Chain A
Amino acid sequence: MLSRTAENLFWMGRYMERAEMTARLLDVGSRITLLPSSAGQGFRDDWDSLLQASGTAEGFRAKYGETVQRNIESYLFFDRDNPSSVASCIERARENGRIVRTALTSQVWDALNTAFQELRQLEKTERGKLELSRLTEWTTRHTSMLRGAIAATKLRDDGYHFLGLGSHIERADNTARLLDVKYYVLLPKADYVGSGLDTHQWMTLLRALSAQRAFHWAYGGEITAAKVVHFLILNRRMPRSLYTSLTGAHENLSALAEEYDRRTPAQTRAATLMQDFSQLTVEEVFDEGLHEFLTRFVGEMAGLASLVQDQYLSGEAR
């Protein structure tokens, strides 16, 4: 397969995940601001921390300055100046897909194109008529359809694995960032730890990940920081956990190595990371510091992506 084609597929996978992550982030934000602590000063801090976690704080401030909820919604959902906005991500996923149209099945293209066409309709709709919840649900519905079309119709060839690799790496990164929101929101208010508000914030996070029920099934009882951290980082059954995402990326890399009959540094790196994770405990994560751990992890994922780039996407490999 052409390196450029692999690159387009890889990024199509990444943008699809990122669109969903931005929508979920918006969802967490709007739910958190509904909590009692958010009266007055708190409201702004909460949104700031959200922008901080998604890496879009600077861009937002440059464009809007003041933190106003409506502006944040615009910036995170519609704004093409924000490369991580839902609209930007969907448009780029679709553009990447259009370039390699023939490497996709018609159902996959249909799902991608429909999302794009509907987005254009949404953009024409009067903003007052668009509930935030409708926008986030719209996004997750379309990413689900796209994922479903890929799972049901795409040949399990190298193209499939580049798509998967993009989404797994992006998903690992995104779950880590979402979890980090909690760190930013809570840090200055250490008194809250273990309080009802703390529990409520963890729950909000789980709901934004559509994982609240799953959490209860898996752990039961009280929601505690340790349980949630275990769930989102180490749980092998949780589809969005760091461990599961990493496993997915490793499987994609192994399949590629087998298909091309060539082991790669990227595959070795992913295997080492998995090895580390399989022995990791929640206590160790807390000892390192949750924020420090997550920051390091996001860096590891960037490193893995760059190995993939060198090996497969740059066209420089011999």
Chain B
Amino acid sequence: MAVSYFNEMFDGGRVRAPYARLEDWVAAMPPEFRTMKQEEAEALFRRIGITFAVYGEGGDPDRLIPFDMFPRVFTQSEWRRLEKGIKQRARALNAFLVDVYGRGEIVKAGRIPQHLVYGNEAYEKAVAGFTPPKGVYSHIVGIDIVRTGPDDFYVLEDNCRTPSGVSYMLENREIMMRMFPTLFRENRIEPIDSYSEVLRRTLASVAPKKCDHEPTVVILTPGHFNSAYYEHSFLADLMGVELVEAIDLFVEAGFVWMRTTEGPRKVDVIYRRIDDAFLDPLCFRPDSMLGVPGLMDVYRSGGVTIASAPGAGVADDKAVYTFVPEMVRFYLGEEPILQNVPTWQCGRSEDLKYVLDHLPELVVKEVHGSGGYGMLVGPKASKEQIEAFRDKLASDPAGYIAQPTLALSTTPTFVEEGVAPRHVDLRPYCLVGEQIELVPGGLTRVALTEGSLVVNSSQGGGVKDTWVLAE
């Protein structure tokens, strides 16, 4: 089956406007120079220490995520539309969270099935009835977007808990500017380096009511063995805040404190990069040694803010995803700017029937899966793989959703033989506090294997610098 893919640089043989200057740039680049620059980039990444540490899997514990030097470019008007759509979606998701942990109007109105919300594993009964400061649950919303045509953007999934990868967005830009300063003089590219300042401001703006001074913000990491540890320390450094582990924190007299060389110091806002289950053993996992005992009591009494708020995960479930356009209409009274990918809920018998009849054309995903694992890409799968999924679907239909195989857009990418189109997606990071802000850019992930539609770094994906051109 021949599918034509939208190429973001070449459209019908012509170079699209945002890429105009890049044509000369790549044409004038001799292969040796390119190899040299590629090696320089790798050396820089390794030297700065931006590695994706994967422990316990063998191989190099300091693996690099492949970096592709060919930038991905958006025009100002393309970006404005995306920005509006992303902010709209982030607002709706937060309104949904406030609602389902409060009065539950959307459920009462019958706009989303009750069991999908209250029966959801990610629904935290422990925070029902509590509204976090400024009504924000998800402070950093990562929305994965794919493109299929000049004006066709689809949201693939929402990440309301702790989306990662923003350090790559920032470092990719840093390294591109260092290696190709001329490109940045010739193209007028919107800067993104305010991200850390906006993040700090966002976190400070949701300090708890009991905080009557300049709030002390910290980042809570699972520790240096975590694969995203570099990102945690990078963000802490950029914001000038402490990077703490659970053992550095304790609860006393209704507040959270960190252990410092000068004695205890009060903590007001915790940007956590750990799962709900590991926040507080007293509340979530009595068997766990991890976490800060008593943290949730302080949280519920307004002594500390946790970002994202415990329970935010119920909004980014793949089954709840189907209802996000409904949330936009219900809470904001607006039409969604960004489209959802049509999705079949295998838990519904009529949907399941359709999916089973069309497996070779569809993408099937686990409702709770991530990282591109446990996924069937029908058109690329063997007969055996398809049959294996047929069995999985039969035994646990509600555990799966299915979507049409999208014709993901491509952008030119440096490959061994020169430059070739490769499929990409986009993850912008929307910051929600007193204000709602978005720096002009995001993380573009690219499937480096020819024909592959899977962009996850754990499965051969790379990253690119993402430009938004100024007016």
A residues contacting B by CB (< 8 A) are 1-6, 95, 98-99, 101-102, 106, 109-110, 113, 158, 162, 256, 260, 262, 312-313, 315-318
Contacts and interface: CB of A to CB of B under 8 A. Distances in A.
A35 to B, nearest CB: 43
A101 B261 contact: no
Nearest to A256: B261
A1 B265 CA distance: 10
A260 B261 contact: yes
B151 interface: no
Interface of B: 47-49, 224, 230, 233-234, 236-237, 242-245, 247-248, 258-264
A109 B49 contact: yes
Contact of A1 (B234, B260, B264): B260
A2 B49 contact: no
Contacts of B49: 98, 101, 109, 113
Contacts of B47: 110, 113
Contact of B248 (A102, A162, A312, A315): A315
Contacts of A106: 48
A315 B224 contact: no
B261 A158 contact: yes
Contacts of B224: 95, 98-99
Nearest to A4: B248
Given A3-B248, A113-B49, A102 B237 contact: yes
Contacts of A162: 261
A5 to B, nearest CB: 8
Given A102-B233, A102-B237, A113-B49, A2 B242 contact: yes
A106 B174 CA distance: 15
Contacts of B261: 1-3, 6, 158, 162, 256, 260, 312-313, 317
A2 B233 contact: no
A313 B230 CA distance: 23
Given A2-B261, A101-B49, A110-B47, 14 more contacts: A1-B261, A2-B259, A2-B260, A3-B260, A4-B245, A5-B242, A6-B261, A98-B49, A113-B49, A256-B261, A262-B262, A315-B260, A317-B261, A317-B262
Contact of A260 (B244, B259, B262): B262
A315 B259 contact: yes
Q: Which of B224, B233, B260 has the most CB of A within 10 A?
A: B260
A139 B247 CA distance: 34
B45 to A, nearest CB: 12
B263 A102 contact: no
B47 to A, nearest CB: 7
Contacts of A101: 49, 230, 233, 237
A262 B262 CA distance: 9
B386 to A, nearest CB: 44
Contacts of A102: 233-234, 236-237, 243
A113 B234 CA distance: 17
A2 B236 contact: no
A167 to B, nearest CB: 18
Contacts of A98: 49, 224
A143 to B, nearest CB: 20
Nearest to A98: B224
Contacts of A318: 263-264
Contacts of A158: 261
B264 A2 contact: no
A301 to B, nearest CB: 21
